Structure 1
């Protein structure tokens, strides 16, 4: 009997393991799974046109949910290359070969996927790809990738691909002879992009090459993102924007600033009622990362508890945040990741503006569902307004800062309502936010709190503005101080009265004396 029970238990364990490994895992509908990537760079190129292109590359990879480890050639450690199946080197220095002996030695025995950006293309890679490159000292070029195009780009010492094997991507057209060359090439496991600069169309064009090199099969979606929304913003304008976008059939994302205290204040209650209204108007709520004023402030030390408290207050109002938006450097910080980003499985990644690391590291955290951002006004520089915009390779949020007045509101709405772009609804994908108390999620287009679907209600509750912001404390000796005050007031009045009497008497005596002297004369 005991032996039979052991056999039954073993079979049960085996069946459970079989189900665990064989059943498909549920992942986000818009998530991608990519291998970790190593970036090796020679210089940050500060003060040159290439400054910032490494950060731009990191942000593109983040939008594909790629975990990135970054190192300079100076700090490269032998054997690191063999730990990765995908490696990118980016060389911003043209005339100085700048790679360590350890890296060159490891590169000779590396057989994973390799991408090279910029100068100093390894000879071995050039041979494998059948590349021949021609350099122009100074040139004006036009870059085209699908519907994206930009003219009159000034470049110094730019390289053009004149011969290659494999698949070409886009085109770089030189004004010198009006000749077109591929913007980039993929051949087998190798990829090459000769020119990438942050802030022009080459940054977006790189994402097309990157997607295929990473073997990403999902299709990118376009989203509208309204950011810079605070409790002290003009909430009436915000409600009107939401109503007009809803009537036009345009879903949007609202990136809202968290509040860590004073939840009972009328201003906060009006803020919550507005967020609830946005949600009912096909708006998806994401929480913006808190502003880091100091890396040693109490707010940063208690980041997780404070973020969780704000999320729980939203849940009480049946408001369901679906992600977090933050600057890129947050994903390279251990503290911000563990106590802030880890609550969310979906993230929107901005450019770095004000870097304040707490515990910096060289490996990024990864969102299951990530999104690239571009300013809404900037995309018009690269796409003809009369054309229907194709989506970029990655999920992309077109950012429109919250309008500060009605004139700016009309300009923003006009830009959106006349756009040919098809925008997606963020909540149609799978997103989850977890605190110790609540699980907030979207599933099949429905918002859920702890597994229960919530109803979207656009009715806003009236908020009483009559509120005592400073609580009155109990006063000791109130009666005594009141009597003393009355006595002091009476004494002061009597003193003033006596002073006036003496003043009048003095005036009369002086006048009588003056008149007596006149008669004597």
Structure 2
């Protein structure tokens, strides 16, 4: 027994020394986002390239990337060495790089580099053996991935004449010029895409380039979301919409606007009932960012508490929200991203309609699950050889506004039926929402609140509209005033009777006197 104990001690000591002597391996969280430095020479305001930097931010967000955005003029010494991936957007052919800090740092940069637009740097041109030219006015047709025949009008468009790249992405055809060229090329750490605009074929081309450049291997999915849902929407029509989609076998997201006050009113209770109906129709609840007034004070920091209370209200009523929907600039605002979005690890970023920063940041907040949103009309514009719409390279959500009447509902359903799209179920993926009182999560189609599975079955219920909207004020001397009122009524009636009697007596006396 003593020998066995000594052997055990020797074995344990040997294992301990082995572990201590092994080189330490840094642990990197699987959820740690990739970081990209996005530089640009100009935002090209008022030109056909206006908005391409913003569109690039949206595409990077769809790949769960954390982005730091800087103009070349704002570049600071040493920034390049902090990023293993850098994107440069050159929108102007005649703008020279004069920032000495960038020029010095660029000479030593060894990371992954993606150049978009004019004037690729000399070392990239040499590495790719690159030759370019410009089409000043014409039309281009893109073929990439499973898509072909996508056309767009182009102006001042640089394109690749020749290169010794290892890999090329897609093919651009210029029928008028009789030319063909790859959309983008890459070799080693260098990637070049000469052309990128917002809202045309190049957006799809850039999505494929970024997926490969960021080494994204996960299979993309497509979702359907209904937007613009408010407490004063036609909630019966909302419930019918959910039921009709359920009958068609289409899972969907309902992007609901939050309510921060009067949550005990019947209107709010009906809103919650409608959301339960949606949830039972294989719909997933998405909390849409609230409408923020442009004049909001920078000292108003109540958003976080309001969002926290609204999520808790949903959880208390058997509703499990799984993500947040917001315009893209929210992820670049310190206050909005923290106060409005930090409860969620999943987001749908919509295109910006009105940008109102409260505390703007040059670095975005990233999310493990982030969907690139496009309207239903985008699907309808894609040319296909059959009814089946191929998957886009990134996780995408097709958005439709809440129908206003039966006619719009029928039109929406017919559009979805015409385009054979395989929509995914949002709650099949992993999502988590955390407040001060509740942890809401989903996985494999099961939603749980604080570890307890949430039943998605729902029995329709009605809300009592007999509600006292203002509290009855406390009344003093009510009895006294009632007695007083009754007394004055009696006095007035007696006075009227006496006055009437005097009139009758006076009339008779006057009549007798007149007859005599």
TM-score for the superposition, normalised by structure 1: 0.86
2:278 pairs with 1:304: no
How do 1:365-376 and structure 2 match up within 5 A?
Answer: 365-376=365-376
Aligned to 2:38: 39
Q: Is the 8 A contact 2:241 2:409 kept in 1?
A: yes
Q: Is the 8 A contact 1:33 1:65 kept in 2?
A: no
Output the CA distance in 1 between the equivalents of 2:346 and 2:417.
Answer: 27
Output the CA distance in 1 between the equivalents of 2:233 and 2:467.
Answer: 20
Aligned to 2:57: 58
Change (3 A) 1:23 1:193: closer
Q: Is the 8 A contact 1:385 1:420 kept in 2?
A: no
Aligned to 1:275: 275
2:235 pairs with 1:201: no
How well do the aligned residues superpose, as a CA RMSD in angstroms?
Answer: 3.3
Aligned to 2:334: 334
Change (3 A) 1:191 1:480: farther
2:149 pairs with 1:154: no
Structure 1 residue 175: Cα displacement? 3.1
Q: Secondary structure at the match of 1:183?
A: strand
Structure 1 residue 177: Cα displacement? 2.5
Change (3 A) 1:385 1:261: farther
Q: Is the 8 A contact 1:91 1:120 kept in 2?
A: yes
Provide, for residues 142-163 of structure 1, a one-character-per-residue CA deviation record: whole Å limited to 9, x for no partner. 2232343565522222111111
Change (3 A) 1:348 1:492: farther
Aligned to 2:119: 120
> How many pairs align?
490
Q: Secondary structure at the match of 2:44?
A: coil
Q: Secondary structure at the match of 2:94?
A: coil
How do 1:461-480 and structure 2 match up within 5 A?
Answer: 461-478=461-478
How do 1:30-429 and structure 2 match up within 5 A?
Answer: 34-149=33-148, 153-164=152-163, 165-294=165-294, 296=296, 301-384=301-384, 386-429=386-429
Q: Is the 8 A contact 1:281 1:458 kept in 2?
A: no
Q: Secondary structure at the match of 1:362?
A: coil
Provide, for residues 400-454 of structure 1, a one-character-per-residue CA deviation record: whole Å limited to 9, x for no partner. 1111111111111111123211110000110000001000000222000111112
Q: Is the 8 A contact 1:334 1:359 kept in 2?
A: yes
Q: Is the 8 A contact 1:65 1:370 kept in 2?
A: yes
Provide, for residues 83-102 of structure 1, a one-character-per-residue CA deviation record: whole Å limited to 9, x for no partner. 10000000111223245222
Q: Is the 8 A contact 1:201 1:382 kept in 2?
A: no
Output the CA distance in 2 between the equivalents of 1:310 and 1:441.
Answer: 16
Aligned to 2:8: none
Change (3 A) 1:468 1:173: same
Q: Secondary structure at the match of 2:348?
A: strand
Q: Secondary structure at the match of 2:442?
A: strand
Q: Is the 8 A contact 2:139 2:151 kept in 1?
A: yes
Structure 1 residue 119: Cα displacement? 1.1
Structure 1 residue 457: Cα displacement? 1.4
Change (3 A) 1:366 1:34: closer
Output the CA distance in 1 between the equivalents of 2:78 and 2:100.
Answer: 12
Output the CA distance in 2 between the equivalents of 1:493 and 1:126.
Answer: 107
Q: Is the 8 A contact 1:186 1:209 kept in 2?
A: no
Provide, for residues 326-349 of structure 1, a one-character-per-residue CA deviation record: whole Å limited to 9, x for no partner. 111111111112212111000111
Aligned to 2:510: none
Structure 1 residue 210: Cα displacement? 0.4
Q: Secondary structure at the match of 2:322?
A: strand
Aligned to 1:519: none
Structure 1 residue 481: Cα displacement? 5.8
Change (3 A) 1:496 1:53: farther
Q: Is the 8 A contact 1:274 1:460 kept in 2?
A: no
Structure 1 residue 371: Cα displacement? 0.7
Q: Is the 8 A contact 1:186 1:213 kept in 2?
A: no
Provide, for residues 191-224 of structure 1, a one-character-per-residue CA deviation record: whole Å limited to 9, x for no partner. 1111111111211221100000011111110000
Change (3 A) 1:287 1:141: same
Structure 1 residue 495: Cα displacement? 13
Provide, for residues 297-338 of structure 1, a one-character-per-residue CA deviation record: whole Å limited to 9, x for no partner. 599521111111111111111110001011111111111122
Structure 1 residue 492: Cα displacement? 11
TM-score for the superposition, normalised by structure 2: 0.87
Structure 1 residue 261: Cα displacement? 1.7
Q: Secondary structure at the match of 2:198?
A: coil
Change (3 A) 1:474 1:102: same
Structure 1 residue 34: Cα displacement? 4.7
Output the CA distance in 1 between the equivalents of 2:312 and 2:445.
Answer: 21
Structure 1 residue 137: Cα displacement? 2.3
Q: Where in structure 2 are there 5+ consecutive unaligned residues? A: 1-11, 498-516
Provide, for residues 75-128 of structure 1, a one-character-per-residue CA deviation record: whole Å limited to 9, x for no partner. 111211111000000011122324522212211111100001111211211111
Q: Where in structure 1 are there 5+ consecutive unaligned residues? A: 1-7, 498-521
